[in-house]
Amino acid sequence: MSGSTPGGAPGSATESGAPAPQVTERPAPQQEGISERALARIFITPSFVVMAAIALFPILYAAYESLFDFTFFTREDFVGLANYVDQLTSPRFWTAVFVTIAFTVVSVTLEFIVGMIFALIMNAAFRGRNVTRAVILLPWVIPTVIAGQKWRYLFEQRPGYINEWLGLGAIDWLGSGASMFWAVVIADWWKTSPFVALLLLAGLQTIPQETYEAAKVDGATWWQRFRNVTLPLLAPSIVVALLFRSVDALRIFDLADVMTNARLETLSVLAQRSIVRDPQPDVANALAVLTFILIMGIGLLFISLMGRDVVGDPEEGS
């Protein structure tokens, strides 16, 4: 005991008098090679390049073809931006732009309201919830062409089921511009509201129930819980739903083509007329590029104004 030192420090004598073994601290091993983030980028890059090429090639090729004059499907002289100038100075083009944007604003607004109601119903706990969810989602799984044919049959004067059910007389829904517009909006509203509801339902199910219980304890009413709890926490899902539907509605073609025989001219319908019914590939390519620019611009503007919760703040990740 006399040879030991208090605490048994390294280098002190043990109880038997033998010196204690020396303990040396080894430096922490350092990572060698590339970081995990760099490795992830290496693995992701090939897939990203392939996806970007697949997505960008059609629009880049269309932009290239739009710089030439065509006789039917035969490329002729290089005309530069002449096709774009013709379209941007055409009243028909701006009418199609107005119809497309008006359709997007009206249909997406209605779909969001109904989709939110559907999402709240599907998220509630009650007997028969699974059956209710299946019934609500049924219109979304029906092919758009079939849905368009069905709604065209309902809106036609003969047999005129919509007019008969609503007691409207013999209104020709598919005969004039305004009524055609609202007929297509109603059909799209019925078809796509379940999709918005599904996106919002996914967001609702991520909200902890403890948050609602705490609000109830504080005496919050249903409307106060919806306004102060549900909407703020659901904001990212709302942005995603509105963005997806806005981009999809801006390229509306199928319902307008099926229900009105392409008489309701949106940008996509106008481009299809220029390549199929009246073959003008130069005009069709210019319209396709202008439609792409419009959709891309509105999408980026939408994200910059409302999507910070989704894309995040770049300064937070630095």
Specify the 3-state DSSP secondary structure of 69. strand
**Distance between CA atoms of 189 and 113, rounded to whole angstroms?**
10
Q: DSSP letter string over 210-273?
A: HHHHHHHHTT--HHHHIIIIIHHHHHHHHHHHHHHHHHHHHT--HHHHHHHTT-S--HHHHHHI
Q: How far is CA 239 from CA 102, 199, 226, in A?
A: 19, 10, 17
- Contact yes or no for 120/136 (Cβ under 8 A): no
CA distances for 145 relative to 153, 203, 254, 257, angstroms:
12, 30, 7, 9
pLDDT tier at 201, thresholds 50, 70, 90: very high
pLDDT of residue 69: 82
Mean pLDDT, residues 83-89: 89
Distance CA 100, CA 94 (A): 10
pLDDT digits (tens, 9 = 90+) for 213-264: 888 888 888 888 888 888 888 888 898 899 889 989 998 998 988 988 888 8
CB contact at 8 A, 203 and 69: no
| Out of 28-37, 47-56, 87-96, least confident range | 28-37
Are 284 and 65 in contact by the 8 Å Cβ rule? The answer is: no
Q: How confident is the model at residue 24 (pLDDT cuts 50, 70, 90)?
A: low
| Mean of the per-residue pLDDT values of the chain | 82
pLDDT tens-digit profile of 90-139?
Answer: 899 999 999 999 999 999 999 999 999 999 998 887 888 888 888 888 89
pLDDT of 4 > 60? The answer is no
Question: What is the band of 193 on the pLDDT scale with cuts at 50, 70, 90?
Answer: very high
The DSSP element (H or E) to which 70 belongs, if any, is strand 68-71
What CATH class has 82-133+196-310? Answer: mainly alpha
Asked if the model's pLDDT at residue 7 lies above 60, the reply is no
- Spell out the SS3 assignment of 71-118: ECCEEEEECCCHHHHHHHCCHHHHHHHHHHHHHHHHHHHHHHHHHHHH
* Three-state secondary structure call for residue 305: helix
CA distances from 98 to 130, 134, 160, 273, 275 (A): 41, 36, 29, 18, 21
Q: What pLDDT is attached to residue 1?
A: 45
The number of residues in the chain equals: 318
Integer-rounded Cα radius of gyration of the chain: 31
Q: How far apart are CA 307 and CA 102, in angstroms?
A: 22
Which pLDDT belongs to residue 33? 65
Q: Which amino acid is at 23?
A: V
Distance of CA 208 to the CA centre of its chain: 25
For 141-154, b where at least 16 C-beta lie within 10 A, e where not — what string? eeebeebbebbbeb
Q: Say what the pLDDT of residue 107 is.
A: 94
**For the segment 143-176, what is each residue's pLDDT rounded down to a tens digit?**
999 999 999 988 887 777 887 777 777 778 888 7
